[in-house]
Every structure is written in C-alpha cells, then in structure tokens.
Amino acid sequence: MSVLAVGTVAFDRIETPFGKRDRALGGSAMYITMASRFMCDDVRLVAVAGHDFPEEYIEDMRIRGIDLQGLEIKPDELTFAWGGRYHYDLNTRDTLYTDLNALSSFNPILPESYRNSKILCLGNLDPVIQNSVLSQVPNPSIVICDTMNYWIEHTPHQLKNILPKVDCLVVNYSEARELSGTANLVSAARIIQEMGPKIVVVKKGEHGALLFAEDTIFMVPAYPLEDIQDPTGAGDAFMGGFAGYLSGCNHINLDALKNALVHGSAIASFTVEHFGPEGLYDLTTADIERRIGAFRSLTAIPEAVHQQS
Amino acid sequence: MSVLAVGTVAFDRIETPFGKRDRALGGSAMYITMASRFMCDDVRLVAVAGHDFPEEYIEDMRIRGIDLQGLEIKPDELTFAWGGRYHYDLNTRDTLYTDLNALSSFNPILPESYRNSKILCLGNLDPVIQNSVLSQVPNPSIVICDTMNYWIEHTPHQLKNILPKVDCLVVNYSEARELSGTANLVSAARIIQEMGPKIVVVKKGEHGALLFAEDTIFMVPAYPLEDIQDPTGAGDAFMGGFAGYLSGCNHINLDALKNALVHGSAIASFTVEHFGPEGLYDLTTADIERRIGAFRSLTAIPEAVHQQS
C-alpha cells in the first residue's frame, strides 16, 4: 500500500554535545518518508520549500525513491528553517529560532495521483492544513496523525475537530498529558481514544513507546545505544517506520500494530546514531531486521527458571 | 536460599495528590523483606528502631514471616522518621524532613544465625555500615547493593571501596549517571561494572528497569497502572522481589536475573497501587503470577505479520 506523508521540509540548525550542523536537510515529511521507504516502494511526500532549497537535497530524497510530485517550491519564499540546541543528556532542547518562511502560507493541493493514498501520515502541522489534506484523500486505510503542544494550546477546537477522522494519534508523553488534561498515561490514552483515535501511540524518547489499541497495551523500549549523536527527527522517523510497516500488511490488526511499533523504534534508533537524516541514507533492510532481532532479545522474558521446593 | 536485608525501618509521612499518611510503617529493610517473602520462606531483617516503634508494626512484619532477630530496639532513641510530598505527576517529590534518630548510631551486629545468609541485600545506607554487614556474612551467593546520591557525593571513597565486593548494584537513573560521571546509560553501566559489580540494575520508575549483565541488556517496563496512589518504597520492593526470585534459583544465571527483574517490577507495581506497604499486606503469589503473565503480553513481540510481496 502507498504511504503519503504531509509535513515539512526544512533547513535544520542542530547543536548537540557531539557536534553541529547548519542548514542540514530536515523536516517531518522528509523524515517520515525517508523512514517509510525501507518497507514501502510507493512513498509520497507533500511539503513546501522556498527557492533556496538546494537541488542536492531534492536528489537526496529522489534517489531514495521518494515521490516528490507533492513538493511545492515557492519561488518568492525561503525554506522553513529551525534551529535547536540539545542539553547534555539529549533529553531536552532549546529552540534557537523558528523561521516559518514558505510554511506560513502552506496550502497543499495534492497531485491527482496522490488521492488514492492508503497510509496517510499527517505530520505535525496546523490542524487546518491536516484537515485539508484529509479531505483530499477520500479512502485511506489508516490515518496516522502527529501534533504538538503548540496546536493543543492555540488551536484546540481545530485539533479536536479532526481527531474523529484520525485512526491513530502519535504523540509524545507531555502532549498526551496536555491533550487529555491528566497526568496518568493510561487514563490519558483512554481519554484521547474517546476523542476519536482508536489507536494511541505515546512516544517516550529514550524510554521507548507505548501502544494503546483494542483495550491492549504494548510497549517497546528505545534501543539502548552507547553513541547517540542527535535526536532530531527520531519521532518522525519512528512514525515513518510505523507507517511503512503497516503498508505491507494485508490487515491492520493488533499484531501488525505491535510489529509496526517495533519497526518504528528500530528506525528511530538508527536515526539518532548520526546527525540529521544521515543515519537513514545508507541503511539496509538487513540492518533493520538485525536490530528487530536485538529488540526481541532485549525484552523477551525467558521461561521461569527451575525453583527449589 | 535465605534472604537477608539490612536497611531501615521508619515512620513515614507521605503526601501524594491522592491522600496522606502520617507515621506509616516505612523503611528500606521493611519493604525489601515484605517483598521478598512471597518467594522465600527464610527472610531476615537487620535494622534499628527506637522505643516509640509500635508493637503493631512489629507484628505486621512478624505475622508475614519476617525473621526479626536482627531488629534492634534502642530504648533511649526515637525511630528514624521521613516525610515526603509528591508532585502531581508522582515522578518527583520534596523531602519534608529526615530525622535520623536511632539510625544515626546504627552499628549492626548480626545474630549468629544470620551469618550463613545467601542472598545479601544491602539497602541504601552509609557504605561504612554496608561494609560492616558484608564482613559479617562470610559466604553469600550474591551481594545486591543499593545506594543514593547522598553517599555518591559525600562518601565516594567508602562507596567505591565496597563496590568490588558487590555482585549487583541496584540504582536509579540519576544515581547511575552521578556515580559513573556520564549521561549515557549504556556507558554508565559499563563504567559501574568496571568499579566492581558485574550486574547493574537501573531503575527508571514509571519507565521500567534495565539489567546489564554478561554483555547483555534486558529491559522490563513498569506495569502501566491507571490508579497509582503512592510510589514510596517501590524501589525497595523491587529489590526485594528481585532478591526473592533469585533465592529460589539453583543457579543465578542470565535467565534467572531476567526473571528476577520481572518479579521485582511486578511487586513494585502492587506497591504503588496503595499507600505505604499496604499493597503488600494481602498480596498472594497467585496475584503476582497473574501480573507476570500481564508483563509477558505487554512486551511480547508477535511473529512478523504476513507482508504483501
């Protein structure tokens, strides 16, 4: 099945304790599609860039099989640019700047060939834009949606308006708490499910991710890495891996969702080992499968050991 | 095998968003032994109390099978008392007071019958006291040791002096970072292993626990609970469940340690559902086994779902 991701492409300035990058390729739509492509050969991107967006970055995506018909280049605008500085433990960051540029007037009109998309990933954007894309894809198999505290605080009505059309909400821990208005994660997921999405995925960064679906809870840890360079894009790559796995499933049932969560975590783990999207450039499906195996041994509870009487 | 726990018994004042208790039965040795007893019928306590320690609390432990020969009552002292107030998310707390009282001159002399103890749990105490207990148990099968930031900062030499005699160090995330001097958890565990303990367990509260042993990493989540009343004692109960499981194993190998981690997490999950040790009073081994089953389904990765070609 096809995967369509709407979101951003961006110039990222990244500062971590281990290095810096300036004007690196970034953006949610880029990370989602670059992660989905390992499990899907029909990955479509919807985003906007400015005239300064380099041909080299377009090629970085095109040669990896991303369909870029939905990438609009605005000739009179600059590309969305973001800068962030991570703290020593990589768990928190300060935003240095957010220059919306071309993104401020983003109003995506999907190519006709995108309207039959099956796995619809709504990257973190104004819920009004997410709703517009929803209306242009009439028959998706699953709608997966990200959001952030900014939209929860500033456009709560618009956000709650689209949630009944969303099958799976992917949020981080603080977003789940803020959206639900409750601190307890299990209660928060139940409250969000009542808002519409029957599937709730809560990303906890280095502490892994939780899936709430069909009265079941499933948990996958983050892969324990000794060398983490840059967490930028890990959440979007997670969503891309999650979506990519589902694109290969005939039925999106609980087992498919659990495996999708593990694949998302595996791809996120490769992302953070390098700066920006570099960790996703030369990755192979064999690399991913090996890490899936490592996830299995990381969490598999052995049979109870023989006990003395 | 026998379990011996040295630590505290205490009067706890506990304030959480869901209620309060004053002068509740508390203390690390109490929680460790009360958790161990489900998997071990020879559980020994070493601690000190004052003349105000109620006979009722002694009975609460005695009727649950805890051997209290090692509980010293100082007739001229008051019992150690601690007060804490938890924040709304239960992840952080302020200490209201710490009155050492009888604990300030604690110098445990073990009963002769305790010297053959096999599973030795050194609860969070001055490492000098931990060392004294170590010297009184000549042939343990495993030494499991807790500590805290206070000892890492104030008595680093004394702490590092005992670590070569410790088989398994059980610490929380911030303690692991502070002791190792590194933010990355995988690196931190490796550095701690080089200090002595070949087994490192890192407790992450609501995010579960990690085991580092024999170049292997194993992870167990915290059980997702909708109704958490009070986290007090969860870490000590975890250590007690961990030790209790090992007491029933003929060989303490990797599978035994993994199962011990799951049992520790299961018992910790019951502890937080009630105030103080109340969640451990009427628990049964059947309750624990049911929760172990729930842990298995929480983390078991299903076989890969059939993929379209």
Which amino acid belongs to residue B212? Answer: F
Round the average pLDDT of chain B to a whole number and report it. 96
> What's the Cα-to-Cα distance from B88 to each of A179, A207, B144, B268, B273, rounded to whole Å?
16, 20, 32, 20, 16
pLDDT value at residue A91: 86
pLDDT block averages, 10 residues each, chain A of length 309: 98 96 98 98 98 98 98 98 94 94 97 98 98 98 97 97 98 96 96 98 96 96 94 97 97 97 98 97 96 95 73
**Residue B129 to residue B100: CA distance in whole angstroms:** 14
Q: pLDDT tens digits, residue range B185-237?
A: 999 999 999 999 999 999 999 999 999 999 999 999 999 999 999 999 999 99
Which tokens go with B62?
Answer: 């005695």
Q: What is the pLDDT of residue B309?
A: 43
Give residue for tokens 């433990």. A89
Q: Which two tokens stand for residue B54?
A: 């109620």
The whole-number pLDDT of residue A109 equals: 97
Whether residue B268 contacts residue B222, with contact meaning beta carbons closer than 8 Å, is answered with yes
Closest to B240 in 3D by CA, of B92, B61, B21, B16: B61
> Do the Cβ atoms of B221 and A219 come within 8 Å?
yes
Distance from CA of B49 to the nearest CA of A (A): 34
3-state helix, strand and coil shares in percent for chain A, rounded to the nearest 5 = 40, 25, 35
pLDDT one-digit tens code per residue, B65-103: 999 999 999 999 999 999 999 998 898 999 999 999 999
Rounded Cα distance between B243 and A137, Å, is 56
Asked if B207 lies within 8 A of A210 by C-beta distance, the reply is no
CA angle A119, A164, A71 (to 5 degrees): 40
First to last CA, chain B: 55
Residue reference for tokens 């040790």: B277
Higher-confidence position of B57 and B304 = B57
Per-residue pLDDT band at B305 (split at 50, 70, 90): confident
Exposed / middle / buried, residue A165 (Cβ in 10 Å: 0-12, 13-18, 19+): middle
A-chain CB neighbours of B1 within 8 Å are: 308
Query: Rounded CA gap, B283 and B179, in Å?
Result: 35
| Mean per-residue pLDDT, B122-143 | 98
Tokens of A247: 């694109």
Q: Is B104 on the interface with A (CB under 8 A)?
A: no
Confidence at B307, pLDDT banded by 50, 70, 90? low
DSSP states of B117-147: -SEEEE-SS-HHHHHHHHHH----SEEEEE-
In single-letter form, the type of residue at position A146 comes to D
Judged by phi (left if over 0) then psi (alpha if -120 to 50, else beta), residue B104 lies in: alpha
Q: Which residues pair with B202 in a beta bridge?
A: B171, B210
User: Is B255's Cβ below 8 Å from some Cβ in A?
Assistant: yes
Q: Of all helices (H) and strands (E), which one includes residue B235?
A: helix B234-247
pLDDT of residue A273: 97
Q: Which residues contact B112 (CB under 8 A, 6 or more apart)?
A: none
Per-residue pLDDT at B165 exceeds 90: yes
Q: Which of A208, A259, A305 sits opposite B305 (nearest CB)?
A: A259
Q: Are B121 and B239 in contact (CB under 8 A)?
A: yes
Q: Please, what are the domains in chain A?
A: 3-299 (3.40.1190.20)
- pLDDT at site A89: 86
Tell me if chain A has a CB within 8 Å of the CB of B305: yes
- Residue type, position A76, single letter: D
Rounded Cα distance between A43 and A69, Å, is 11
